[in-house]
Structure 1
Amino acid sequence: MNSLDKYILRQCLMPLILILVVTTAIVWMTQSLQRIEIIVEYGQGFLVFLYLSLLIIPSLLAIIIPFALFGAVVYALYRLHSDSEIAVMFAAGVSRWRIAVPLLFITLLAACATLYVNVDLMPRSYRVLKQTVADIRADFATSLLRSGEFISASKGFTIYVDESRPGNQFVGLLINDYRNNEKRETYMAQRAILQETKAGPLLILKNGNIQRENRDSGKVDIIRFDDWAVNVSSLNDDPGELQLELTERYLGELLHPDLSKPYDRANSGKLIAEGHARLASPLYTFAYVLVGLNALIGGSYTRRSYFLRVASAGAIIFGLRVAGFLAQGFASEAGTVWMLYAPPTAAIGVAAFLVFAPQNWRIFPQRRVA
């Protein structure tokens, strides 16, 4: 790699990092708000919310990386045009291919990163996210013992807590336990602590009383206690085997659905199309960059503004991405997975021809710079 390659790489690398960080941060903040329910409804702390929010970043990177690279390439080349450095390079005999090589090198790295995110990092992070949320929702303390609310845990079991404290400690409890119709009980306690045992979670009540209906006399018997254990293991929601959605599956699980499972049988077309879409995704990185190269160094050289060319290139890559999503929908219905590779491959071929074709093949040959 000579000094020219390093110079062009530096012109592209800093804008790429800046665009990638800023865009990811903006999109991440909007997406992370969907996890605010973990704090509001289940009493989790900010660190849990932050951890769950960070797990969605890989899915954002798979889409943002190609667009960020397109923006960085366009910015770098536009800056070189503005400073007349492109004109000097052309005058010195530097070819379009020579200018494009360092940009295509960084494109290759970005495409490999996109492929890794799609086939491993994204499904891995989404699985952790889904399992963590399922564990929080299934946890008795976080799902049922919330301050100032009457919670119906199951049919015949209602619980109220004045205050929830760290360490599964609670103050001011009222429990109506009518699960056994022959033995209806109401518990009142000043304090309680939730303990995990081999038999399941036990709610240890402190300083309270039990009110039981005496079916023979029709009166209410009151039993006072210092300590009393209530088995609440039956109230825990067992999440069981989680159903993996498209974004939570690895490539092999997408391309080879398990037809013994009802979900896979019903959605085999979508699963296979999603797998091929992930394989085709890195091709968009090359397509975007080549479209950007064509906008800035393809066609005839001009000293005028490149605004219209850049705007047209932006519209092309947007339309290309939309075409990719439409192709995925058609492929999942018709089973024609080649449609997923057609839009980026066609764009790569056309843009590469327009940028690197010999002078006598171009519709708008390059003008000599005086």
Structure 2
Amino acid sequence: MHEEVQQILDEAVTGDGIPGIVAEVHDDGRTWFGTAGVADLSAGHRRQPGEYLHIGSSGKAFTAATVLALEAEGRLSLDDPVSAWLPGVMETGGYDGGKITVRQLLNHTSGLFLTGLAPELQNSIATQPARVWTTSELVGLAVSQPPVGEPGGQFVYSNGGYYLTGAIIEQVTGNSYAAEVERTVIRPLGLTSTYVRPADATGYLQPHPTTYVAGALKDGVDPAMLTAENWASMIDHDKPPVDVTALNTSWGWAAGGVVSTTGDLTRFLRAIATGGLLPPAQHHEMWTMVTSGDVAWLPHARYGLGVIEFDSAAMAGQTVRGVSGTLPGSFTLALSTDDGRRSVVIHANIEPKNLDIPIKVIKAVYGVTLA
């Protein structure tokens, strides 16, 4: 299995143009670490264990776990309406904070639009890469376009739901979002190489890979025209990779602001997959799935509270759980069986052109076809 994964990593570099990619596999107490390509195209040094990685939307699971810990402490309920904690914040543009619950923010059934492709955000990333987004600006961004559905209805992936959740965490506790993630998740699990990236950060702790975006938007493409359906076709992969390591990512925040390592992410994922972090009731809530379809996710995967789970029928009877995240210059996928016996974390320092590489890794590690 390890040889097959190594071959996939090698092909990702030689065939798909990924600068550097790593995989960490744990199987019945054994650990294997594979790498291909380089951490930096200029320096040429190889990638290595222990690198600090921006895990993007995988950080949503940290946010969800924090909320569930607060629920276990009796400080809020998943069924609380948003207006109970953020009165008046959602009463705009057709939203009603009295009808949208914390649970719906976390499982993307709130009716909020796909915030990640908001023109204001896309233009900011393209033209103001050093801009620092405040919490109030992110909360305003979440409701800056009309609802796309009724609360509790269809699944529509929205970072905005996690911006609102981060604000709720701060309102409930009186502490910063970062402090509560540290208190409820990072310290209890001993994640010594994991942190919430500060809003004004322009770098990462060492060692870390240089992060790249694949080319750029095609000439003449207006960022305001990007949609979930067309954005991939708007990238010009023939243009040379662009170093975006210094990109400000304050717009990620509670929707994707966590930095970790493959080792720490393995420990975190195995804890939430097996029930090692949360009490039984909250563990059950985290893994209560909604139908998400395959548009935004890997085949046969559904979404819970910040997490994904594969249909066991597609995984040869195995229950495989995980997190995944992407942002400019970084792609992460972390998976574990629900007994914690077999896990894998992969990271590429560029966003892959498609999901072929992670799908191949899943097939190799878990011995499935995933058709």
With the shorter chain as reference, the TM-score category is under 0.3
Structure with larger RCO (C-alpha < 8 A, sep 6+): 2
TM-score (norm 2): 0.21
Q: Which has the larger radius of gyration?
A: 1
More helix by share: 1
